[in-house]
Amino acid sequence: MKLAVPLILIFSPFFLSQAHADVNYKIDLTTPDHHLAKVEVAFPASNAKQLKINLPVWRTGKYQVLPLADAIRHFKAEDDSGKALEWQRTASGEWQVSLVEPSQVKVSYQVYANTLGQRVTHIDSSHAYLDASGVFVYSPEFRDQQVKVSLEVPEQWRSYSGMDAIGPHSFSADNYDVLVDSPIETGINQHRRFSADGRDYELVVWGEGNYDIDKMVEDLTRLSGQAKAIWDGYPFERYVYMVHATSGASGATEHLNSTVIQRPRFSFRERKDYLGFIKTASHEFIHTWNVKAYRPQGLVPYDYQDEGITELLWIAEGSTSYFQSQLLLRAGVITPKEFLEDLAKRIGRNEQTPGREVQAIAEASAGQWVSGGGDYARNHSSNIYSEGYLTSLALDFSLLSETQLKASYRDLHAKLYQEYRLPAGYRVADVQQLLADLSGKDYADWWQRHVNQPLALDFDALLAKAGLQRDYGKENKAIADAGMEIAGSLRLSHVRREGPAWRAGIVAGDELVAINGLKVTAKGFEARIKDFKPGDTIRVTLFSNDTLKEVSLTLGQQPSEKLKLTSVDKPNRQQKAFFKAWLGIDWPFDASGKLQD
């Protein structure tokens, strides 16, 4: 196998290469088939008797402790003469290296990189995705020092990152905080450059799939030009969209001036699938301001070895979700119909999430580090993304109303960017003060009712401000609802709190066997329920804890059609003006109330 070796590695010994950086990283990716790589890190001379070496226990963008250090093996430490140094493991992500005398320290180890779905690391014969949190150790003593990363890769590979390139496969950053928020994509990939509103952009795509890369560039260009609808400047000169077309992994993570977006390789062509991609791209792009340029004080600075607790994660995540479709709508990438369909889906999902009645969004934010999801979360928790979106909607409508359309939620985020940009961090009191500055009103009571208590919104009154109403259509009728869901088998994945199944004593994990004595199949479950009417009582046979039992279940009701948002009858001028101030586009309905394409 021919290898592409950066010239800087040929002409300069690893330890003496201090021209570009004080901390030097080298990673050997020349045998990638089994997800393994060799890492060397050269730290400057230290006068300490013990040099602390850390690997983060979480990665930025995912507020959850992860077993990242489990990927490290063959840890070694040497002084500048090559003599082995004693070390000991002192925490899950910490090593203590003993120094006999002041010396540079070289640390080397093997890293196993096979966490593609976590968007931490992945190495195979076609590429390597490297998030520093799972690859590169650091020393707190040198966290603020300049760093350089050099890759040794197969010849055909091409390397990209949000960091400054100093060679075909070499990058530099001002410090470890920049490195840890600037992932590297290297391998066999497609690459495009484009520009928008005076900034340079790159699109790097790894993996084959049914995507149209020219369409992606076109829409990303339009999206990238819309940031000025909220903020008055950019925290970057160059931005990199990294896209993984995968065999199943999906998700996305924001970074300092880049993002990685993962989608199953054949989930790009259909419009609904493509909307999932482009909305995700918008979400991560917005994060470049909201989280990366300004964020809650509890996350400033990042503590890579501990949790950063804050009651404001709903602003960091929920507000980002709230703005993502708005920028696409302004850019003409999605239609008003598609925007309103998305909002209707979110409102409908909220009404089917009993946890919204239990947990306030502030509490959900503070507890995000231990949020596990699943049946319990849906029944007993608020979600910082979905409920955070609707809290942002309510706050936006409040600002628009209180200021006669002169200020909106966009203005709040513009102020956060102007006044609380890193290294500052904002607190609850700071947000409330900005709201008071914008509106002339004290928002403490609003905050108590909507943020510190479970969110309860009157959607009909809220939507009417913008000339909208909820509508299930003329064909809608009440159909039977059992209040339980299955996921791929007959084992129940969710039983809605206080729903029909819940009241019958059925719980998540139970396995359905029969209804009214007749066998149930996974494919036929929903059809069987539709055979009955609301109010009917059915006999449900199931295994609960491996014990066969039969219970009586009285069915509830649900609408037969999906929720839609339509125009109110005869919307007035104020409602149309509110709509435009909210979304930045003209009233999209014609005189008959039909959405115009």
Find the mean pLDDT for residues 218-247: 97
Confidence bin at 476 (pLDDT 50/70/90): very high
The alpha carbon dihedral of 24, 29, 31, 33 has a sign of positive
Give the tens place of pLDDT for each residue, 338-372.
Answer: 999 999 999 999 999 999 999 999 999 999 999 88
User: Is 388 exposed, middle or buried (CB count within 10 Å of its CB: 0-12, 13-18, 19+)?
Assistant: buried
pLDDT at residue 487, as a whole number = 86
Q: Are 301 and 295 in contact (CB under 8 A)?
A: no
One-letter amino acid of 47: N
Distance CA 74, CA 301 (A): 31
Residue 59 has pLDDT above 60, yes or no: yes
**Which tokens belong to 132?**
């520093």
Between these two residues, 372 and 230, which has the higher pLDDT value? 230
Find the mean pLDDT for residues 302-310: 96
Give the tens place of pLDDT for each residue, 138-168.
Answer: 999 999 999 999 999 999 999 999 999 999 9
Residue 229 has pLDDT above 80, yes or no: yes
> Average pLDDT of the chain?
95
Residue 11 has pLDDT above 70, yes or no: no
The b/e string for 35-59 (b: 16+ C-beta within 10 A; e otherwise) is: bbbbbbbbbbebeeeebbbbbbbbb
50 beta partners = 98
Long-range contacts of 119-124 (CB under 8 A, 24+ apart): 119/59, 119/61, 119/62, 119/183, 119/251, 119/252, 119/253, 119/260, 119/262, 120/59, 120/66, 120/68, 121/71, 122/35, 123/29, 123/32, 123/35, 123/36, 123/37, 124/32, 124/33, 124/35
**Which tokens belong to 125?**
């014969």
Q: Are 321 and 389 in contact (CB under 8 A)?
A: yes
Residue 500 has pLDDT above 90, yes or no: yes
Distance CA 290, CA 274 (A): 24
Residue 1 has pLDDT above 60, yes or no: no
pLDDT at residue 488, as a whole number = 83
pLDDT at residue 591, as a whole number = 87
pLDDT at residue 372, as a whole number = 86
One-letter amino acid of 594: K
Strands 127-130 and 184-187: antiparallel
Q: Are 84 and 389 in contact (CB under 8 A)?
A: no
Q: How much of the chain is in helix, strand and coil states, percent to nearest 5?
A: 30, 30, 40
Residue 173 has pLDDT above 80, yes or no: yes
Residue 15 has pLDDT above 70, yes or no: no
Residue 66 has pLDDT above 60, yes or no: yes
Confidence bin at 596 (pLDDT 50/70/90): confident
Give the tens place of pLDDT for each residue, 72-109.
Answer: 999 999 999 999 999 999 999 999 999 999 999 999 99
